[in-house]
């Protein structure tokens, strides 16, 4: 099961997930052109260097899509390389739509025969949680994972995610974000897998007391939590404990995500930077 595979990878390699975000300045620093071929080389080198070092990698689809079909081809090769190196992929696409459109997105990224198939994807629930059913259903059918946006660290997110709904019967508070956590928890319970569920959340590592203030515990979702913001954005082990609690971290429920803190070390320093940051995140205090 996806949750068990991810947890086993975190047990073996630590809680770190490295985002593959080939920004222009990183391509230049690595001596690569700002082209689809540069993105391809950057990504394949990163996957190779991180193999056996971290639990997962998170390619950001937008950095590939901007180069058109050649960029998408580079993303296909990156995901294939993850499979070859047995490195769990979290494809950051944040898709969210309705009906047949959501079904097409789900088939593109979760159907095993697709060239863009990933081990897991990120999705946005803000067209209605039920609209994500095609992704949930395919994830169940093909043993994939789905991370649902719940509480993000960008200031604009609060106007929707922190909004009050006037309902708190499920124990997850009355906020929109609390409702997302509640529904992910229900999905994991219905999926009836043992251990960590296949359906998780995206919760920023730098949100501080936001979840507590809204009246819920993200760890109650029963699945893995993708926590971006580690490293260059300011979060370390103390911030992760503040947001999620030491029990969730010790149980390897929190997939701590970074990008610049590792990638800025350059092609020769990626592995060492990842190992160092990983070690700092295993020191639960």
Q: Tell me which residues are annotated as active site.
A: 94
| Euclidean distance between CA atoms 166 and 178, whole angstroms | 11
Going 71 to 73 to 79 to 83, the CA torsion angle's sign is: negative
| Euclidean distance between CA atoms 82 and 12, whole angstroms | 17
- Please report, for residues 153, 217, 221, 271, the alpha-carbon distance to residue 275 in angstroms, rounded to integers and kept in the order given: 25, 29, 29, 6
Let me know: does 142 contact 2? Beta carbons within 8 Å: no
| Euclidean distance between CA atoms 128 and 248, whole angstroms | 28
State the DSSP H helix or E strand holding residue 84, giving kind and residue range, or none if neither: helix 68-84
Contacts of 148 (CB under 8 A, 6+ apart): 122, 123, 124, 125, 129, 132, 180, 184, 199, 200, 201, 202
Let me know: does 92 contact 149? Beta carbons within 8 Å: no
| Number of Cβ within a 10 Å radius of residue 13 | 20
| Euclidean distance between CA atoms 137 and 84, whole angstroms | 26
Which residues make beta-bridge pairs with 143? none
């Amino acid at each position: 099961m996806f949750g068990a595979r991810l947890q086993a990878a975190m047990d073996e390699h630590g809680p770190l997930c490295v985002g593959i975000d080939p920004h222009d300045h990183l391509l230049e620093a690595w001596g690569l052109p700002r082209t689809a071929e540069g993105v391809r080389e950057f990504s394949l080198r990163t996957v190779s260097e991180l193999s056996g070092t971290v639990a997962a990698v998170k390619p950001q689809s937008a950095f590939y899509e901007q180069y058109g079909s050649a960029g998408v081809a580079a993303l296909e090769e990156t995901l294939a390389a993850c499979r070859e190196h047995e490195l769990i992929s979290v494809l950051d696409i944040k898709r969210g739509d309705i009906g047949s459109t959501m079904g097409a997105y789900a088939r593109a990224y979760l159907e095993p025969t697709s060239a863009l198939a990933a081990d897991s994807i990120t999705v946005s629930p803000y067209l209605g949680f039920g609209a994500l059913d095609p992704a949930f259903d395919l994830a169940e059918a093909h043993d994939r994972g789905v991370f649902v946006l719940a509480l993000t660290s960008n200031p604009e997110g609060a106007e929707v995610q922190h909004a009050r709904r006037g309902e708190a019967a499920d124990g997850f508070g009355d906020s929109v974000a609390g409702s997302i956590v509640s529904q992910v928890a229900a999905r994991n319970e219905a999926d009836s897998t043992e251990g960590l569920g296949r359906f998780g959340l995206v919760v920023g590592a730098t949100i501080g007391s936001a979840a507590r203030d809204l009246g819920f515990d993200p760890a109650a979702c029963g699945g893995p939590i993708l926590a971006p913001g580690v490293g260059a954005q300011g979060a370390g082990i103390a911030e992760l404990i503040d947001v999620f609690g030491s029990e969730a971290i010790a149980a390897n429920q929190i997939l701590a995500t970074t990008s610049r803190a590792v990638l800025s070390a350059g092609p020769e320093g990626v592995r060492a930077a990842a190992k160092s940051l990983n070690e700092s995140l295993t020191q639960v205090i």
